[in-house]
Amino acid sequence: MTDENRAAGSEEPAERVVITDEPKEETAEEADVEVEEAETKTPEPGAEPDAVEGEIVDEAFTVHAPPAGGPGAAAAQGTTDDAHQHGLGAELAALRTELDERTRDLQRVTAEYANYRKRVERDRALVVEQATGNVLGALLPVLDDLDRARDHGDLVGPFGAVAEQLIAALTKFGLTVFGSKGDPFDPTRHEAVAHLTSAEVTEPTCIDVMRRGYLLGERLLRPALVAVADPE
């Protein structure tokens, strides 16, 4: 026996593989394991669940999102922009309305304050005028004595100089004297204590002054006492 024969005789016969079309029968244990793996398998996020044999899948209610950048997305973006602009317009209108109300309030308060200031200034001036009138009214009898002294020629020398300074000081406060012979009779400023008729006058005229009158600005402090001559 040669070496080749020995080698041929020592080789083991090759295993024969038979392929059949008959399905391999699964044992009961293998079927149970496959059912458990199918029940415990967790679907990946976003993946659609596998259809179970015998289950009816209703595809009529499946909602498919429009592709990004398509006409639907553009329409949705336009609607969002319009809503945003509408909200801004409403907010701007509300702010303008509030601004108008605050402006009217400010104008009303400003007008009220201006009227208040005018009223206060008017009242202050009236109080000052009344106080000044009271003081000057108390000094009128002194001025009457000075007038009588002047009429009798006694207002001379140092006494006359003091009298002139007093009259000048009172004039600075707005005191004005009126009432002289020949003045037309004014019933609002003159008080007639005697009435005569005369052919020398053409209208009621003051022919004599018993006491001169005084004004404080436009305010009458005291009327003048006069004798009036009426035309014949």
pLDDT digits (tens, 9 = 90+) for 127-149: 998 999 999 999 999 999 999 99
DSSP three-state, residue 56: coil
Instruction: Specify the 3-state DSSP secondary structure of 139.
Output: helix
Taking the C-alpha atoms of residue 80 and residue 60, their distance in angstroms, rounded to an integer, is 29
Q: How far apart are CA 33 and CA 29, in angstroms?
A: 6
- Residue recorded with tokens 């003045």: 183
Q: In the chain, pLDDT over 90 holds for what percent of residues?
A: 47
| 197 Cα distance to chain centroid | 72
pLDDT digits (tens, 9 = 90+) for 171-203: 999 999 999 999 999 999 999 999 999 888 999
Query: 216 has which bridge partners?
Result: 175, 219
Rounded to 5 degrees, what angle do the CA atoms 115, 118, 122 make?
A: 140
DSSP state of 1: -
pLDDT less than 70: residues of the chain: 1-78
- Evaluate the CA torsion angle 41, 44, 46, 47 in order and state its sign: negative
Within 8 A by CB and 6+ apart from 73, the residues are 66, 67
Question: Is the overall model pTM greater than 0.85, yes or no?
Answer: no
Kindly report the three-state secondary structure assignment for every residue of 69-91: CCHHHHHHHHHHHHHHHHHHHHH
pLDDT value of residue 199: 87
**3-state class (DSSP) for residue 225:** strand
State the Cα–Cα distance between residues 185 and 98, nearest whole angstrom. 65
